[in-house]
Copies of this chain bind each other. A is one copy, B any other.
Amino acid sequence: MNTDELAELGQQLRVDSVRASAAAGSGHPTSSMSAADLLAVLLAHHLRYDFERPEHPANDRFVLSKGHASPLLYAAYKAAGAVEDGELVTFRKLGSRLEGHPTPRRLPWVETATGSLGQGLPVGVGIALAGKRLDRTGYRVWVLCGDSELAEGSVWEAAEHAGYENLDNLIAVVDVNRLGQRGPTRHGHDLDAYARRFQAFDWHTIEIDGHDVDAIDRAYGEALSTTGQPTVILARTLKGKGVASVEDREGLHGKPLPEAEEAVAELGGQRDLRVRVSEPQAAAALRSLTTEVVQLPRYDQGEEAATRDAFGTALAALGTARGDVVALDGEVGDSTRTEEFAKAHPDRFFECYIAEQQLVATAVGIAARGWVPYASTFAAFLTRAHDFVRMASISGSGINLVGSHAGVSIGQDGPSQMGLEDLATFRSVYGSTVLYPCDANQTARLVATMAGLDGIRYLRTSRGKTPVIYGPDEEFPVGGSKTLRAGEDDRLTVVAAGVTVFEALAAADRLAEDGIAVRVIDLYSVKPVDAETLRRAAEETGCLLTVEDHHPEGGLGDAVAEAFGDGRPVPRLVRLAVRTMPGSAAPDEQLHAAGIDAVAIAAAARLLIEEAVVR
C-alpha cells in the first residue's frame, strides 16, 4: 500500500471503531483512534499472519496490551477479512465474541487476555522467549501498549527481562496519546522521557509521529532489522485523532463519540478496504518431543522427605519424559528445588529472577505457544502475581504454579515468608485446581498429574521433611482424598492436608489410646474437593474438624464447608487454623502456637465428642 492507502486504512479503522462503540453504547473509541495508523501499517506491511490458521507455528504474535482499544483490534480483524462487518456491531453485546476487552479462545487470534494494564508486554516477553528458545520458527512478537500503563512496575520487569535476554524478536509499540483515564499522564508527549527509561533497560528506541504512516513504516523496518536487543517504538499520537470535537481532549476516555454519524462523516465515511496480510514463513517441522512414560522418584514408606524436594525431583523426571515441559524460577530455585530441573534440562529452564509478575507472565506466554510451564517461588510471593493469575484464568491459560514454604511450619523466618493466604487466593480463581500434598510420593504423582489439567493449577509444597506414608504406586486422582484412619466407631473426622496430616494422625493415635476412635482424611485435593467422602464421613461420624496451616478464611475449612453447600443436611463443622500473627520460632513451636498441632487437635476432638455426648 502507498502512503494514501495506508492513511485510508487508518481512517477505516477509526470509522469502524467509532461505529462499533456507537452500536454498543459504550467502549473506547478515542483510545482506538490514536493507535489506528500504527495498527494499519503493521497489518498492511509487516505482520506475518495467517488468519485462517491462527495455530500456524510461524505466525507473528500480536498482543493488544491496551485491551480497552478492542474496537480497533476488531476493526483490524474486519480489514483482514477475519470478521464480517455485521459482527462488528455486536460489540459488547450478550453472546458476542467481540467483548469489551479481547479474550483468547473466544477469539482465535487473541494470544492473551488484556484489560488489566501492564500485562501485555510481560506476556509478550514470555511469547518472545518461547520463540527464541523453544519454538524457533522465526516469528516476531508485536505488543501495542498505552502510555498510561508504563507506570506499572510490571512493564519494567518485562523491559528488564527482555533487554537482558536480547529479545530482538520483540517489538513494543507505545501509543503515546498523553491522556490517561482521568487526565494527562505523568509525561504527556515527552517521548524522550520514555526513551530514556527503555534505553536504560537496554532496548533500542525509535521516536516517531504516530500519525505519519511513512514514519511508522520506516520505524517497523528499523525494528525488524535491529539485532541483539528488543525495540520500542514511541509514537506521539492524539487521542480521538481525526474528529475535532474529541481530538486530544480530556474527559472522553471510555465513552462512545457523542455524534457518531457526524464523526464518521468527518473521517471520510465508511470504507471497506481489505488488507492482504503477509503469510507467515513456511512452517517449521513439528516439534519432536520425547514422550516417554515418566519415571517418577519413588520414596520408601517410613523415610522422610520434604514435599518441595519431591517436587523438584519429580519435575526433573517429568521434563525427561516430556519434551514440552518447561520450568521457571523466581531466583529461589535452590529453595523450591526447581534447580533440579535446571540442572537436568537447562534448555527448558527460565530464570526470571526476583520478579514474580514476570515469572507468571512468562509462564502464560510460553503456555500460549503450547508448552507446559511450571513456575515456582515461595507461596507467599505468588501473591505478588495475583492479578496475572486472575488474567491468566480469563485467558484459559494452562499453567502450573507451585508455591513452596507454605504456612507457619516453615519456622524461624517469620510471617513475611509464610504462605498463609495462598489456598484462598487460588481457590477463588476461576477454573483452578488446588493441590496440597503431604508426602513425597503423593507430591511426585500430583506433579505429573497437573500437566494434563485445564486452567490454573496450583500445588502447595512444604519446607520441612515429612514421613512418607504412601506407597510409590498409589494413585491420587484430582478431586479425591485419602481416608487414613477409619472404623465403625469413629466419633469425629479430622480433615487435614499437607503438614497437618501428620498432626492429625498423631492426635488420632493419642485419642485411640484413650479409646476414642476418630477418622482422619487427607484432603490433598483442596479444589475440586471430594464432597462424597466428606459427606459420608459426616454421616458416619457426625462432626468434621478441619485443621490447616493457613488463615481460617478461604482455605481447607471453607473448601470442606463448600462441599455441604448443596442444601442437604450439614454435619457439625469446626475449623482449626492460623488465627494469630506468627513470629519467629521452630516449626513445631509454630504449629503449637497456632493451635494446629496434634495437642490442639486432640483437645478440640475431646471437647467436641464430649459436647456430643452431653447433647
Inter-subunit contact A566/B574 (CB<8 Å): yes
Residues of B within 8 A of A181 (CB): 331-332, 334-335
Residues 538 to 575 of chain A near chain B (Cβ within 8 Å) = 543, 551-555, 557-559, 561-562, 564-575
**How far apart are A463's CB and chain B's nearest CB, in angstroms?**
12
Among A108-116, A167-175, A275-283, the one that faces the other chain is A108-116
Inter-subunit contact A570/B567 (CB<8 Å): no
Chain B residue with minimal CB distance to A384?
Answer: B387
Inter-subunit contact A570/B568 (CB<8 Å): no
A387–B339 alpha-carbon span in the complex (Å): 25
Residues of B within 8 A of A117 (CB): 354
**How far apart are A503's CB and chain B's nearest CB, in angstroms?**
18
Chain B residue with minimal CB distance to A357?
Answer: B153
Among A9-17, A88-96, A310-318, the one that faces the other chain is A88-96
Inter-subunit contact B101/A412 (CB<8 Å): no
Judged by a CB distance under 8 angstroms, whether A400 is at the interface is no
Q: From the candidates B182, B329, B332, name the one contacting A339 in the complex (CB within 8 A).
A: B182
Query: How big is chain A's contact interface, by range?
Result: 35 or more
Inter-subunit contact B424/A554 (CB<8 Å): yes
Inter-subunit contact A353/B148 (CB<8 Å): yes
A353–B586 alpha-carbon span in the complex (Å): 42
Inter-subunit contact B554/A428 (CB<8 Å): yes
Among A41-49, A154-162, A442-450, the one that faces the other chain is A154-162
Judged by a CB distance under 8 angstroms, whether A355 is at the interface is yes
Inter-subunit contact B197/A428 (CB<8 Å): no
Inter-subunit contact A553/B153 (CB<8 Å): no
Judged by a CB distance under 8 angstroms, whether A166 is at the interface is no
Among A77-85, A367-375, A577-585, the one that faces the other chain is A577-585
Residues of B within 8 A of A331 (CB): 148, 151, 180-182
Judged by a CB distance under 8 angstroms, whether A406 is at the interface is no
Residues of B within 8 A of A357 (CB): 153
Residues 423 to 462 of chain A near chain B (Cβ within 8 Å) = 424-425, 427-431
Most chain B CB atoms below 10 A, which of A199, A567, A574 = A567
Residues of B within 8 A of A554 (CB): 424, 427-428, 553-554, 558
**Contact A113:B416 (CB < 8 A) given known A151-B160, A567-B574:** yes
Residues of B within 8 A of A196 (CB): 199-200
Residues of B within 8 A of A424 (CB): 424-425, 427-428, 553-554
Residues of B within 8 A of A353 (CB): 148, 151, 180, 185-186
Known pairs A148-B354, A383-B390, A427-B554 / 13 extra A-B pairs, C-beta < 8 Å: A100-B417, A101-B414, A103-B583, A153-B153, A153-B158, A185-B353, A199-B200, A420-B428, A527-B553, A558-B561, A562-B575, A564-B573, A567-B574
Q: List 17 A-B contacts (CB under 8 A).
A: A93-B584, A94-B593, A101-B415, A115-B413, A117-B354, A148-B353, A152-B356, A180-B353, A253-B334, A383-B390, A420-B428, A424-B425, A424-B553, A552-B562, A553-B558, A557-B562, A567-B574
